[in-house]
Structure 1
Amino acid sequence: MVFHAKTNTVLVLTIFLLVFVFGTIAWLPFFTSFLTIIIMSTVFIISAVFIGWYATSIQFVFCENHLLVKGGPFKSKIPYQSITSVSPTTEKFTGYLISSSDKGLEIFYKSATHGSIKILPKDKIKFILELKKRCPNAQIMQNERFE
């Protein structure tokens, strides 16, 4: 079962715009030749495509033995038996999320580098119900807390 992440397109477009404006201002002194303009534009386009790919490809896949969290080239495998708890989080701009929403989920698991991962699936209730089926030993709060 695959769940996609909520993406705030206004935030992503704002990031692109800011990178473009500040990049243009910083590169102006180097625009001495047409070749320099082509090289700098290519670097910007590649960076923009990478950010867009990451922002729009975040998904959470329930595999047989683990939860796979993917975003662009980055992947995290979370074995179901290592998930200890799931709770709502109000921290912004952390973990696998590109959103200005402050109502995500924090999954705590034993093998995490920082102890947890923060995610924001589009349908949190269905995601939590599926997680409960696969991780019966994990401590998951009642559904009302996650809306």
Structure 2
Amino acid sequence: MKYDIKIDLWIKLLFLMSIGILIGPALVMPSEEILFYVATIFPIIGVVMWLLLGSYYELQDEELLMKLGPFSGKVPYKNIKSVSLSSNWSSSWAMSMKRVLIQVHTKTMFKGDVQVGPVDREEFMDALIRRCRNLD
């Protein structure tokens, strides 16, 4: 089951302003330089748009898949120890301050956490908890 990622307004504005700042110089640039400039900024704009439009979480059969544009991560349900609501500024798989905190335990990572920010946190959390068998 796929869940859309929640993107806070300030993050959307930051991304869109970044695109505007990149496009702005092309409007006043000499025509012989525009092609090179556009070829340089096009991949950057593509990644920013990919982050805005191509991010989601998916509860698969055995694991949680997190897609944040070109980046992806997986957390097997068997490694999830607890799930709770959270709200903080730490770096994560979320583009919102309203998050779900997933605490993970594996042989290579004694104690770690993953934070995700789906649009409907409660529904996502309930569905995730139903799939996890090793919760504390």
Do they superpose with TM above 0.5? yes
Say whether 1:98 aligns with 2:90. Answer: no
1:18 and 1:92 map into 2 onto residues whose CA distance is: 21
Residue 106 of structure 1 deviates from its aligned partner by 1.5
Q: Describe the SS at the equivalent of 1:94.
A: coil
Residue 19 of structure 1 deviates from its aligned partner by 5.3
Say whether 1:47 aligns with 2:44. Answer: yes
Task: State the partner residue of 2:81.
Answer: 84
2:42 and 2:12 map into 1 onto residues whose CA distance is: 15
Say whether 1:2 aligns with 2:2. Answer: yes
Residue 24 of structure 1 deviates from its aligned partner by 5.4
Residue 82 of structure 1 deviates from its aligned partner by 0.3
Residue 9 of structure 1 deviates from its aligned partner by 5.1
Q: What letter corresponds to residue 104 of structure 1 in structure 2?
A: R
Say whether 1:110 aligns with 2:105. Answer: yes
Residue 44 of structure 1 deviates from its aligned partner by 1.8
Q: Percent identity over the alignment? A: 22
Task: State the partner residue of 1:65.
Answer: 62
Q: What letter corresponds to residue 6 of structure 2 in structure 1?
A: K
Query: What's the Cα RMSD here?
Result: 2.8
1:103 and 1:13 map into 2 onto residues whose CA distance is: 17
CA contact (8 A) 2:77 2:133 kept: no
Q: Which moved more, 1:118-127 or 1:1-10?
A: 1-10
CA contact (8 A) 1:16 1:48 kept: no
Q: What letter corresponds to residue 83 of structure 1 in structure 2?
A: I
Task: State the partner residue of 1:145.
Answer: none
Q: What letter corresponds to residue 6 of structure 1 in structure 2?
A: K
CA change 1:59–1:45 in 2 (3 A) is same
Q: Describe the SS at the equivalent of 1:61.
A: strand
Residue 47 of structure 1 deviates from its aligned partner by 0.8
CA contact (8 A) 2:3 2:57 kept: yes
Q: Describe the SS at the equivalent of 1:14.
A: helix
CA contact (8 A) 2:62 2:77 kept: yes
TM-score, structure 2 normalization: 0.78
CA change 1:37–1:115 in 2 (3 A) is same
Q: Describe the SS at the equivalent of 1:88.
A: strand
1:135 and 1:107 map into 2 onto residues whose CA distance is: 11
